[in-house]
Amino acid sequence: MIVTTKQLFEVAYGKFAVGAYNINNMEQTLGLFRGNLDSQAPFIIQISKGARSYADKRMLEAMIKAADQIFPEAIFAVHLDHGDLDAALDCVESGFYSSVMIDASHEPLEENIRITRQVVEAAHARGISVEAELGQLGGVEEHVQVDEKNAHLTDPAEAEVFVRESGCDSLAVAIGTSHGAYKFSGHQGLHLDVAAEIQKRLPGFPLVMHGSSSVPQEEVARINAAGGGLKGAKGVDEDEFVKAVPLGVTKVNIDTDGRLVWTRVHREFFRDNPEKFDLRDPGKIFIAEYAKFIAHKNEKLQSAGSLELVRKAVAG
Ligand code: G3H
Ligand code: 13P
Ligand code: ZN
């Protein structure tokens, strides 16, 4: 059942974080639904601009509608990840999305507020909520590359002004994470003090943590042992999620770790079965491994086991 992102946040705030997982194809979609049902968790399906052009936005919508029928017990929201103005307005008009992200975080504050406000007005008129971003994460997003020296943490005082003036419903904050597989070069970690300060100024307001893959070292080692070349990849300690939840972090975005599962499964499969060529053979393994990965993340996010609570809440 597709619900609004707002409904999920109302149940989750302060108790658990909702996992927001990107999809690009059918195997990921099947694994995602299975993993969330196995762990009895609500979830958010994220679609990036890159995914919308890779798979065609109509294909992604059709897959989600089909998965909703195949897995009638699932409770989830559909979200545009890192939208620009055009993509955000297109998704609002489509009526299919529960929420959209407008990412104008690379713009100066006033311009970020102006663009976000424009999306908020269109979205709220249709009952769709809006995630905005303030501060800059390092790493690579599809339309912006930010190197470490240009990344900067969200200023809590600015966050208060930004939320008030833009009217957004949730805020992606830069608290030390970055996108992709190479997040930390040394001993850096999450700046939970910054999240705490933002929460003081915006009590009850849902915060979103992007760039939250943990880049498991065991996964990287298996990929490299099967011919990969990922050097020095490092991510967020997933045991930190439990500390972020009471500080208002209500949505946690994870994409890279799922890509690592895909890469490990396919590299190992073709290394170990050089004579095979039926795409369904590694596909089946991937779906099962992806489901396991999702269930594991949901345990760390504490969303596992909350499906009934959410079902009751959305039933009113
Ligand atoms: O933050 C970006 C997400 O990982 C989506 O990645 O833009 O390559 O689809 P993508
Ligand atoms: P990762 O690259 O850490 O998985 O972050 C994904 C993300 O933030 C999607 O918006
Ligand atoms: Zn992101």
CATH number for the domain that contains residue 87: 3.20.20.70
Taking each helix axis from N to C end, the angle separating 26-38 and 57-70, rounded to the nearest 10 degrees, works out to: 30
Model confidence at 232, in pLDDT bands (50, 70, 90)? confident
User: Region 50-62: what's the mean pLDDT?
Assistant: 97
Give me the pLDDT at residue 187, please. Answer: 56
Atom 2 of ligand 1 has which residue's CA nearest to it? Answer: 141
311 lies in some domain? yes
Q: Is the pLDDT of residue 93 over 90?
A: yes
Q: Which of 54, 179, 236 to mutate to test the pocket of ligand 1 (most atoms within 8 A of CB)?
A: 179
Structure tokens at 191: 């700046």
User: Region 253-271: what's the mean pLDDT?
Assistant: 98
* Domain extent for 27: 5-211+234-251+294-315
User: Region 63-68: what's the mean pLDDT?
Assistant: 98
**Which residues, judged by CB distance below 6 Å to any ligand atom, belong to the binding site of ligand 1?**
22, 48, 50-51, 81-82, 141-142, 179, 255
181 lies in some domain? yes
239 lies in some domain? yes
Atom 5 of ligand 1 has which residue's CA nearest to it? Answer: 48
258 lies in some domain? no
Is residue 91 within 8 Å of 83, Cβ to Cβ? yes
Q: Is the pLDDT of residue 92 over 50?
A: yes
Give me the pLDDT at residue 152, please. Answer: 87
Q: Is the pLDDT of residue 90 over 60?
A: yes
- CA quadruple 135, 140, 145, 151: dihedral sign: positive
Residue of higher predicted confidence among 250 and 140: 250
Q: Is 38 an annotated catalytic residue?
A: no
Number of domains in the chain: 1
For the ranges 12-26, 135-149, 187-201, 279-293, the lowest mean pLDDT is seen at: 135-149
Give the closest ligand to the alpha carbon of residue 182: 2
> Side chain identity at 236, as an amino acid letter?
V
Atom 1 of ligand 1 has which residue's CA nearest to it? Answer: 141
271 lies in some domain? no
Q: Is the pLDDT of residue 3 over 80?
A: yes
Q: Which of 24, 54, 56, 81 to mutate to test the pocket of ligand 1 (most atoms within 8 A of CB)?
A: 81
52 lies in some domain? yes
Give me the pLDDT at residue 182, please. Answer: 85
Give me the pLDDT at residue 305, please. Answer: 98
User: Region 180-194: what's the mean pLDDT?
Assistant: 80
Alpha helices in 71-191 (DSSP H): 85-94, 109-124, 156-166
User: Region 13-31: what's the mean pLDDT?
Assistant: 98
Is residue 60 within 8 Å of 25, Cβ to Cβ? no
Give me the pLDDT at residue 142, please. Answer: 47
Give the closest ligand to the alpha carbon of residue 211: 2
Give me the pLDDT at residue 316, please. Answer: 87
Give me the pLDDT at residue 137, please. Answer: 83
Model confidence at 149, in pLDDT bands (50, 70, 90)? low
Q: Is the pLDDT of residue 224 over 50?
A: yes
282 lies in some domain? no
For residue 178, the tally of other CB atoms under 10 A from its CB is: 25
Identify the active-site residue in 38, 56, 81, 86: 81
Alpha carbon of 207 to ligand 1 centroid (Å): 19
278 lies in some domain? no
